[in-house]
Structure 1
Amino acid sequence: MKSRSESLIRLKKFNVDEKRRQVMQIEMMVADFERMASELDQQIEIEQTKTGISDVAHFAYSTFAKAALQRRDNLLASANDMRGKLETAQDQLAEALEDLKKVELLDQREHQRERDEQNKIEQAEFDEVARQRFRNR
């Protein structure tokens, strides 16, 4: 029984570790998207300053700035999508942690039951030794 519960605990721990890795990867992706969008904002600002045109609707607005705006918007949209995935991944991590705790508690109870049984056996042996000593007197 021990090896089975230990295997189950190992499996649950592996599952928790995998969910943690997924959460960390998604968090890094969101941070990267936001960092890249911020860098594009700076490039757009530099381009607008260089050309002197900040109105996107102006006919002479920089094509580089337009393309950078589009890339920035795409990055921000991707970051928002990833936040939804991050929330789902965090929920899955919480569930995996909960499952691990349940299995660990069950294992602890089983070990306690085994210790209690062993203590009962030892106490019965001590009682028998005491009875025999009492009889021999």
Structure 2
Amino acid sequence: MKSRSESLIRLKKFQVDEKRRQVTQIEMMVADFERMASELDQQIEIEHTKTGISDVAHFAYSTFAKAALTRRDNLLASAHDMKGKLEAAQDDLAEALEDLKKVELLDQREHQREKDEQAKVEQSEYDEVARMRYRRQ
């Protein structure tokens, strides 16, 4: 029984670790998307300063700035989508942690039950020794 519960605990811990890795990976992706979008914002501002034109509708607006705006918008949309996935991954992690706690509690109860049984057997042996001594006297 012990090896079975220990195997189950190991499995649950592995699942929790895997969920944590997924959450961390998604967080890193979101941070990278937002960082790249910020860098593009800076490049767009530099281009506006160079050309002196910041109106996107202007006929002489920089092609580079247009492309950078589009890329930035795509990155921000991807970051937004990844935030939704991050919430789902965090929920999965919380659920996996709850499952692990349940299994650990069940294992702890089983160990306590075994200890109680052992203590009960020992106590009955002590009682028997005490009865034997009492009869001799």
When normalised by structure 2's length, the TM-score is 0.99
Task: Give 3-state SS (helix, strand or coil) of 1:115's partner.
Answer: helix
Aligned residue identity for 1:17: D
- Give the whole-Å Cα distance in 2 for the aligned partners of 1:49 and 1:5: 66
- Give the whole-Å Cα distance in 1 for the aligned partners of 2:88 and 2:127: 58
Alignment of 1:1-137 (within 5 A): 1-137=1-137
Deviation readout 1:86-105 (Å, 9 max, x if unpaired): 00000000000000000000
- Give the whole-Å Cα distance in 1 for the aligned partners of 2:33 and 2:82: 10
RMSD of aligned Cα (Å): 0.4
Q: By how many angstroms is 1:135 displaced? A: 1.0
- Give the whole-Å Cα distance in 2 for the aligned partners of 1:119 and 1:59: 89
Deviation readout 1:5-44 (Å, 9 max, x if unpaired): 0000000000000000000000000000000000000000
- Give the whole-Å Cα distance in 1 for the aligned partners of 2:104 and 2:91: 20
Task: Give 3-state SS (helix, strand or coil) of 1:69's partner.
Answer: helix
- Give the whole-Å Cα distance in 2 for the aligned partners of 1:14 and 1:38: 36
- Give the whole-Å Cα distance in 2 for the aligned partners of 1:128 and 1:25: 63
- Give the whole-Å Cα distance in 2 for the aligned partners of 1:59 and 1:75: 25
- Give the whole-Å Cα distance in 1 for the aligned partners of 2:37 and 2:128: 79
Percent of counterpart pairs with the same letter? Answer: 88
Q: By how many angstroms is 1:78 displaced? A: 0.2
Deviation readout 1:68-119 (Å, 9 max, x if unpaired): 0000000000000000000000000000000000000000100000000000
- Give the whole-Å Cα distance in 2 for the aligned partners of 1:126 and 1:58: 97
Q: By how many angstroms is 1:136 displaced? A: 1.2
User: Gaps spanning 5+ residues in structure 2: where?
Assistant: none
* Runs (4+) off by over 3 Å: none
Q: By how many angstroms is 1:54 displaced? A: 0.2
- Give the whole-Å Cα distance in 2 for the aligned partners of 1:134 and 1:2: 40
Would you say how many aligned residue pairs link Structure 1 and Structure 2?
Answer: 137
